[in-house]
Amino acid sequence: MESTSLTIGWIGTGVMGKSMAKHLINKGYTLQVYNRTASKADELVSLGATFKTPVEIAKEADVLFMMLGFPQDVEAMALGENGVINHMKEGSYLIDCTTSSPGLAIKVDEAAKKRNIHSIDAPVSGGDVGA
């Protein structure tokens, strides 16, 4: 698949998320981004990303990355009342890069499978340099 044909969403554009999302933009991908503090996504928007709500991103993304602060943030964003899994397309991918818990990763995966969504637990570390 060509990079321009994928719709990629990124939720969580803090220090590590912003760096990782920027790598995708630099490789030619178009991103839809969200962060609780919208200004943390300004640099990505200036590079061509579009700022949208998590639900808007979930409805459109072929691949949705999350890079959040804490397990409770992941649970709310993925599984909450307006959780992204409830809005994602069948066959799309949810990739959680948050350092979380194995139990939560299983819970997210089980919810995703019920909607024919692929869930990948891919925690990262290393701060902004590693990202």
Tokens 């990079």 found at: 3
Question: In this model, does residue 2 exceed pLDDT 80?
Answer: no
Please give the share of the chain, as a percent, with pLDDT higher than 90.
Answer: 86
Dist CA 130 CA 52 (whole Å):
26
Within 61-125, strands assigned E span 63-66, 93-96, 118-121
Q: How far is CA 49 from CA 53, 54, 125, in A?
A: 13, 14, 24
Please tell me the predicted confidence (pLDDT) of residue 129.
Answer: 52
Task: For residue range 26-39, list pLDDT tens digits in order.
Answer: 999 999 999 999 99
Length of the chain: 131
Q: Measure the CA–CA gap between 38 and 23, rounded to whole angstroms.
A: 19
Residue 5: predicted pLDDT: 84
**What is the residue-averaged pLDDT of the chain?**
93
pLDDT in tens, 48-91: 999 999 999 999 999 999 999 999 999 999 999 899 999 999 99
Q: What are 98's two structure tokens?
A: 């948050």
Domain span at 25 = 3-130
Amino acid letter, 72? Q
Q: How many domains does the chain have?
A: 1
- pLDDT surpasses 60 at 127: no
Q: pTM for the whole thing?
A: 0.92
- Residue 10 phi/psi, 5-degree rounding, is -135, 120
Res. 1: pLDDT tops 50: no
- Domain with residue 106: its CATH number is 3.40.50.720
